[in-house]
Amino acid sequence: MNRGFYTIMAAQFFSSLADNALLFVAISLLVAMDAPASLTPLLKLSFVLFYVLLAAFVGAFADALPKGRVMFIANIIKVFGCALMFFTIHPLISYAVVGFGAAVYSPAKYGILTELLPPEKLVPANGWIEGLTVMSIILGTVLGGTLVSERGTAFLLSFDTFASLGLTTGAEAAMAVVVGIYLLAALFNLRIPDTGARYEHQERNPAKLIADFANCSATLWRDKLGQISLAVTTLFWGAGATLQFIVLKWAERSLGMPLDKATNLIGVVAIGVALGAAMAARMIPLRKSLTVIPMGIIMGLVVTSMVFVHSVTVAYPLLALIGFLSGFFVVPMNALLQHRGHVLMSAGHSIAVQNFNENLSILVMLAAYAVMITLNLDLDIIIVIFGLSVAGIMLLIQRRHTLNQREHDSLGLIGEGKH
């Protein structure tokens, strides 16, 4: 990997670190407002909303400019969204603006990998990016939990710097720290090299952009490899976002842990994902990527065992195992999807299609979770429904791949160059 790749990794790490820390700052603001419990998952829902609404447009934007510049612009939007919280704008609205920046950021972040690296390096590259993203989740959740804790608030307000800036509350000081991390990510964005990749003139007519996006989406879903990898990653991101809130609620109810302590459990899941991602990057070549599908089935079944756990000692290894299985099967699938998208269309457009499907999954699954919470459904029932649904859908995906292979050996398409 060259220096440009590591610069991209640094920019991604700090931007994701701020995203995750800000989530828990926003949750603490909702708690301080005595907001209903159903609003907490809606916070994440507001973040991913623009991934779906802007899917037809952000791919063209990512391909219209050097991707380092696109990532810089996106981070500035995130800074603006975070700053809105200083002016008592509702956390749902402020976090949605940050999500707008993230939606712009994502096609450039992943698309630049296919411009910078050959196909055989995409699995290791995804191991890097997923590993660092997971590390940022670990540190971001710990940082967010620390910033909103009583001890963290007292520590921040002990600095005269915050007082001189007119920041008098712990929430304001915490948001200032997050803004600083976003600005650091923006500085790394400015150092990302221009890969030299240029695409033909990008369409600006909204109707034509939507039609082009629909065509790209249909192309990926029709492709025998694209449909399998897209289905897996779509399920993974929806399940991952929902599991984050299930774990927080489970920690409170079954383990008796407050929010600032429960964030450590999210970090444990993230550690497991990092280990699984690292092992997959080392063991699974691109041509063997589809062999990891059974891991997703096992992961869904393991999740259901959470209902029997009421001890922190058992909770840590269980969540680490869930994370490990997740990381091991999603990294090869992500690499395969990026490869097929790059072969079939441009990098930015293929990632935009991926983002649309994955974040639509997040919206649907979080909305379903919020409805179940509103209906006061028992948490154990929610966990069982969630785990069995994931395992069942992964089983259907595996059967679909088996049927595809009976019709035609699609594995020979892996590694082919762009036509």
Average pLDDT of the chain is 82
pLDDT score for 270:
79
Predicted local confidence at residue 392, as pLDDT: 93
DSSP state of 417: P
* pLDDT in the model for residue 262: 79
Q: What angle do CA 23, 24, 27 make, to 5 degrees?
A: 90
**Residue for token digits 């829902």?**
45
CB 350 within 8 A of CB 60: no
Contact 224, 343 (CB under 8 A): no
Q: What is the pLDDT of residues 54-68, one digit of tens each?
A: 877 877 777 777 888
- Measured distance CA(273)–CA(178) in Å, rounded: 24
Which of 236, 202, 222 has the alpha carbon at shortest distance from 357?
Answer: 236
| pTM given for the model | 0.71
Within 8 A by CB and 6+ apart from 165, the residues are: 176
pLDDT tens sequence across 215-233: 888 988 888 888 888 898 8
Please say if the pLDDT value at position 419 is more than 50. no
Digit-coded pLDDT (tens) for 66-76 = 888 888 999 89
Instruction: Give the amino acid at 86.
Output: F
| Confidence check: pLDDT of 417 > 60 | no
Average pLDDT over residues 245-253: 87
Provide the b/e sequence for 319-354 (b: ≥16 CB within 10 Å): bbbbbbbbbbbbbbbbbbbbbbbbbbbbbbbbbbbb
- Whether 418 has a pLDDT exceeding 60, the answer reads no
Place of tokens 């991209």: 8
Q: What percent of the chain has pLDDT over 70?
A: 90
219 burial level (CB within 10 Å; 0-12, 13-18, 19+) = middle
Q: For the domain with range 204-418, which CATH number is right: 3.40.190.10, 3.40.50.880, 1.20.1250.20, 1.10.1040.10?
A: 1.20.1250.20
DSSP-assigned letter for residue 191:
T
Average pLDDT over residues 399-411: 79
Q: Which residue has the higher pLDDT, 36 or 79?
A: 79
Of 98-102, 297-301, 403-407, give the lowest mean pLDDT range. Answer: 403-407
Location of each CATH 1.20.1250.20 domain in the chain: 1-191, 204-418
Average pLDDT over residues 6-22: 88
CATH of 1-191 given 3.40.50.720, 3.40.190.10, 1.20.1250.20, 1.10.340.30: 1.20.1250.20
